[in-house]
Structure formats: structure tokens, C-alpha cells
Amino acid sequence: MTAQPRRHRETHRSARTGWLRAGVLGSNDAIISTSSLMIGVGSSTTSEQAILIAGVAAVFAGALSMAVGEYVSVSAQRDTERADIARETHELATAPEAELQELAGIYARRGLDKELAMQVAVQLSERDRLGAHLRDELGIEHASLARPFQAAWISAASFALFALLPILGLVIAPASLRLGSIAVVTLASLAGLGALGGRLGGASMMRAALRVTVGGALAMAVTAGIGRLLGVAVG
Ligand SMILES: [Zn+2]
């Protein structure tokens, strides 16, 4: 009696925070790629202008590539959904009896006995026949139909927003501490967002923060090493 409402509430919470958690996890890309590029360039030159240009270029390149990538992948998903809906609509129009049997079969496989499965199939079909087939046969919810433009601009905007953090680390620092400042701002941002992501996912905040911080530190160390080697070799 007490367990059920509580369980319902938790399910609800996880559905609502899903997109937020995805955004937090995606922000790692923006922070790590921008800071690594800036530190790589900064290890080969002392020019603040060069480091800043590298950072700004990283923001635009990353945001645009996120937008294009997301648009292409979500468009492909939407095309598949549209084709599925068209095929299902056609089947419902040409073979309604077979489709009803098919739907009842799906409910029977989920554990309802045969008669009840048919009753459920009939009643759900009366309300929204296409909707029932899309949801239970193909796993498509009307509300969740893929939206390529929305996915594209949201991922571009969130990339750009988070990629500004390492640039902030550059502009607030005195000349002698530039790279250290970028690294500190980057690691602090990663730790904070990692902990937040862990909390939203119901996992350990400490472990989530540590994982992404170590990953970010490694990425910056590698590009710093490469930048130094290239700076010596080319310069
Ligand atoms: Zn069907």
C-alpha cells in the first residue's frame, strides 16, 4: 500500500531528469575538447591571442559539428519512424483483422491470457488504433517523435555554453598562470558537473566526479605534450 505511490514517484523523477542528465554528460565533450585544444596551442606558444583564437575556434567548430551530427542522426531516426508509421497505417487499412490478432499476440506474450489480451487489444484499438500499434508494436510514442532541428540547436547551444568555461579560465588569469588557470577551471567544472550528473542518475557523486576529472586531466596532459613537442619541432 505504501510501496506503490513511492515507486511511481521515483519513476517520474527519472523521466523528468533524463534530458538534463544527457545535457550534463554532453557538456564534458565541450569542456574537455576546448581546454585540451587551448592547452595544446598554449604549450607551443606564449601568444595569448593564439590561445584565445584556438579556444573560440573550438567553440564554433564543436557547436557546429554537434548541430550537424545531431541533425543527421535525428533526421535518420525520424525518417525511419515516418516509414514505420506509413507502413503501419497501410497495414491497418488493408488487413485490420490480422493487425488486431497481431496486437493481441503482443499483449499475450507480455503475460496476459489469450482472452484478456484480445479484450485489451479491442479496447485500445477503439480509442486509438494507430497509436496502440505504434506504441506496443514499434515502440514509438507520439509525444517522443524525433525533432531534428530542436535536437540540433539544443546540442549546439549547450556545447557553446560549456565550451566558454575554459576560455573564461584564460581571460581571468595573469599571463604567467594562463595554462594553469585553464586547467583548474576545466577540472573544477568537470568535477562539479560530474557530481551533478551522478546525483541526477542516482549514482555516487564522488565516483562520477573523479572519473570525468581524471579523464579530462589525461586529455589535457596529452595535448600539452603534443603541443610542446610540435612547438619545439616546428618552432
Ligand atoms: Zn500492427
Closest CA relative to residue 75, chosen from 157, 145, 160 = 145
Q: How far is the CA of 102 from the centre of ligand 1 (A)?
A: 6
Q: How far is the CA of 147 from the centre of ligand 1 (A)?
A: 24
Report the pLDDT value the prediction gives residue 222, as an integer from 0 to 100.
96
Instruction: Tell which wins on pLDDT, 119 or 144.
Output: 119
Closest CA relative to residue 202, chosen from 55, 5, 15 = 15
Report the pLDDT value the prediction gives residue 25, as an integer from 0 to 100.
67
Query: Is residue 233 very low, low, confident or very high in pLDDT (cuts 50, 70, 90)?
Result: confident
Q: How far is the CA of 124 from the centre of ligand 1 (A)?
A: 13
Q: How far is the CA of 107 from the centre of ligand 1 (A)?
A: 12
pLDDT (tens digit per residue) in 175-195 = 889 999 999 999 999 999 999
Q: How far is the CA of 15 from the centre of ligand 1 (A)?
A: 27
pLDDT (tens digit per residue) in 88-132 = 999 999 999 999 999 999 999 999 999 999 999 999 999 999 999
Q: How far is the CA of 197 from the centre of ligand 1 (A)?
A: 38
Q: How far is the CA of 116 from the centre of ligand 1 (A)?
A: 18
Q: How far is the CA of 87 from the centre of ligand 1 (A)?
A: 9
Q: How far is the CA of 75 from the centre of ligand 1 (A)?
A: 23
SS3 letters across the chain:
CCHHHHHHHHHHHHHHHHHHHHHHHHHHHHHHHHHHHHHHHHCCCCCHHHHHHHHHHHHHHHHHHHHHHHHHHHHHHHHHHHHHHHHHHHHHHHCHHHHHHHHHHHHHHCCCCHHHHHHHHHHHHHHHHHHHHHHHHHCCCHHHCCCHHHHHHHHHHHHHHHHHHHHHHHHCCCHHHHHHHHHHHHHHHHHHHHHHHHHHCCCCHHHHHHHHHHHHHHHHHHHHHHHHHHHHHHC
Report the pLDDT value the prediction gives residue 62, as an integer from 0 to 100.
93
Q: How far is the CA of 134 from the centre of ligand 1 (A)?
A: 7
Q: How far is the CA of 133 from the centre of ligand 1 (A)?
A: 5
Q: How far is the CA of 89 from the centre of ligand 1 (A)?
A: 8
